[in-house]
Amino acid sequence: MSNYRIETTGTAQIRHKDTSEVFELTSDELDWEPVFGHERDMGRETLWNATVDHPELGELRWEFSEYPEGFKNAESNKMGGHEVLQNFDISFGFEPEEPDEPLDAMEFDSDAAAEEMREWFLSRYEDPAKSLPYVSAEGGYQWINGGPYDALEILGEQFENEYGLELVEKVAKSIVDESGIWDWSPVLGSDFYGEDLTDLDQATLLQKSLPYSEELVINQATGAFDIVPVPITNQVLLEATLGQISDALDDILSSPSNGLNEDALEVRRLQRTLDRYRNDPQRVEMDLTSVHGSLVNKIASEELPPSDENNALVTALREGAQGIRATYPSVAENREILSKQALLELSDEDQKTISDAAPLLEAITEGTLKEQIQEDIRYLTQELPDQVHLLPGVTREDALLPGKDEKVRLFSRVSKMFIQLKSSDQIVDKIRSSSGYKALEIFAVFGSLISLFLTLLL
């Protein structure tokens, strides 16, 4: 048997972007590490990274992907704007492995080994019904976290050399027989993806778990981020939906006995949606769903009366959100995924982390994105903590806990921006020039937010 190893030979010559001085680096300065990996059709794809902290050039990073095993794909080198005059030669070589110890020479407790394998597998893989959306029209479970995975295949890769195929097969069969599950989904978290998840790994996980249908765009002059909404495919339906909600809202406000007025949070949010975001189906669906959940809770807890006008608005919100999902498949898929997520509440410390990040997020965004991030941060850190918590069991299936969609919106956008920033030194340089925030400050703030978001999610 043999192992693949990365062979780096030759020298690299880098010209300084400001002084034009040429520096030479030797291949022994590169120490390759795997930073991210996921399964694909022909096996595992791995992203390799080697970083050099040069006293004159700063941080220099070499990256490439390996897929399938032993094959090097496109390099993506981050030189901080410096010019590469000559690069290293990077390839895969082979080295022999020590022969495995014969299985019959091993001694182990088969019962203890079987229990070890069971615990290891069940801590890392789960019934897809626990976390994955199920869409009949798309063929069943949507494997957003990778998979499906086979118990025998996974256990064999991990334990066959240690305990032998016969015992591995026995354990895999017992797991399948007891659970009735053939196809497994990974449990998100460091145990599955590795002990040392990078911020980029975490951002990628969040993007899989918290989808949001819009396009992130970048101002090429300043590096600031903005958004482009989902294109409207049925203007007539969307306008009819919003018109029905507007009429229902007017009916409620015409009588003080309904318990809502112009200053009520739900009213302000709906009016903002009607005024500003009527051309953004994803935003409209989230706002209708969120306000629907809040009203249902308040009526159930008798904070609001079950008047005809209040019930009419609840119905209009539910039917409007469902109509948008029926018209926009990506929005419907997002809701399917989000309905499976259980986000923890924000602690005082969490709220402070978000508040502290607000100046940076405002500085590197513009237009609609800047406005909506300001709204969501204000809601999560100021308005949400003052609300009464939901009573258990009073919301409809498509209603969400207060603040859930705002968290999802903020988490998803921060993750998308971070992935873009990590992929382009030029964007970071433009943001530094336009806002004054340095790279270390930017990545420190984003890192703290992403770690927080993943903690709330997982």
Per-residue pLDDT tens for 431-441? 999 988 888 88
Question: 405 and 445 in one domain?
Answer: yes
Tell me the C-alpha distance between 436 and 433, whole Å.
6
Tell me the C-alpha distance between 49 and 28, whole Å.
14
Q: Please give the helix or strand (H or E) that residue 52 lies within, else none.
A: strand 43-54
Question: 81 and 10 in one domain?
Answer: yes
pLDDT in tens, the chain (458 residues): 345 678 888 899 999 998 999 999 998 888 888 866 666 666 777 878 888 989 899 889 888 888 777 777 767 788 888 998 999 888 876 555 554 544 444 567 888 899 999 988 988 888 888 767 666 666 777 776 667 888 998 898 888 888 888 899 999 999 998 888 888 888 765 444 444 556 676 777 677 666 778 888 999 899 999 999 888 888 888 899 999 999 999 999 999 999 999 999 899 999 999 999 888 999 999 899 888 888 888 888 788 999 999 999 999 999 999 899 888 888 887 787 777 666 677 888 899 999 999 999 999 999 999 999 999 999 889 887 765 444 444 333 333 456 778 888 898 899 889 888 888 888 888 999 998 888 888 988 998 888 888 777 65
Q: How many CB atoms lie within 10 A of CB 314?
A: 21
**Of residues 216, 212, 202, 286, the one with CA closest to residue 457:** 202
Tell me the C-alpha distance between 443 and 222, whole Å.
17
Residue partners of 104: CB distance under 8 A and separation at least 6: none
Query: Looking up tokens 């091993």, which residue turns up?
Result: 106
Token pair of 236, please? 């007539």
Question: 445 and 428 in one domain?
Answer: yes
The answer to whether residue 253 sits within a structural domain is yes
Question: 370 and 458 in one domain?
Answer: yes
Token pair of 360, please? 């940076």
Question: 147 and 276 in one domain?
Answer: no
Query: Looking up tokens 């901080």, which residue turns up?
Result: 80
Let me know: does 49 contact 61? Beta carbons within 8 Å: yes
Q: Give the number of domains in the chain.
A: 4
The answer to whether residue 271 sits within a structural domain is yes
The answer to whether residue 61 sits within a structural domain is yes
Provide long-range contacts, Cβ within 8 A and 24+ apart, for 72-78: 76/423, 78/425
Question: 287 and 216 in one domain?
Answer: no
Q: What pLDDT, on a 0 to 100 scale, did the predictor assign at position 190? A: 42
Question: 169 and 142 in one domain?
Answer: yes
The answer to whether residue 34 sits within a structural domain is yes
Question: 322 and 365 in one domain?
Answer: no
What angle (nearest 5°) sits at the alpha carbon of residue 245, between those of residues 244 and 249?
A: 120
Q: What pLDDT, on a 0 to 100 scale, did the predictor assign at position 400? A: 44
The angle, 0 to 180 degrees and rounded to 10, between the axes of the packed helices 199-209 and 404-423 is 140
Question: 238 and 216 in one domain?
Answer: no
Q: How many CB atoms lie within 10 A of CB 38?
A: 16
Tell me the C-alpha distance between 420 and 432, whole Å.
15
Q: What is the dihedral of CA 51, 52, 58, 62, to 10 degrees?
A: -50
Token pair of 139, please? 């063929």
Per-residue pLDDT tens for 317-329? 999 998 998 888 8
Question: 67 and 7 in one domain?
Answer: yes
- What DSSP string describes 65-111? EE-STT-EEEE--B-TT-EEEE--EEEEEEEEPPPPPPGGG----HH
Tell me the C-alpha distance between 88 and 98, whole Å.
30
Let me know: does 276 contact 224? Beta carbons within 8 Å: no
Per-residue pLDDT tens for 180-234? 888 888 876 544 444 455 667 677 767 766 677 888 899 989 999 999 988 888 8
Question: 75 and 118 in one domain?
Answer: no
The answer to whether residue 362 sits within a structural domain is yes
Tell me the C-alpha distance between 358 and 252, whole Å.
35
* Residues 93-105: b if buried by 16+ CB within 10 A, e if exposed: eeeeeeeeeeeee
Let me know: does 354 contact 365? Beta carbons within 8 Å: no
The answer to whether residue 149 sits within a structural domain is yes
Tell which of 159, 187, 215 closes a domain. 187
The answer to whether residue 425 sits within a structural domain is yes
Tell which of 66, 96, 126 closes a domain. 96
Instruction: Report how far apart, in Å, the C-alpha atoms of 265 and of each of 20, 198, 256, 269, 382 are.
Output: 58, 38, 16, 6, 12
Question: 292 and 252 in one domain?
Answer: yes
Residue-number span of the structural domain to which 30 is assigned: 2-96
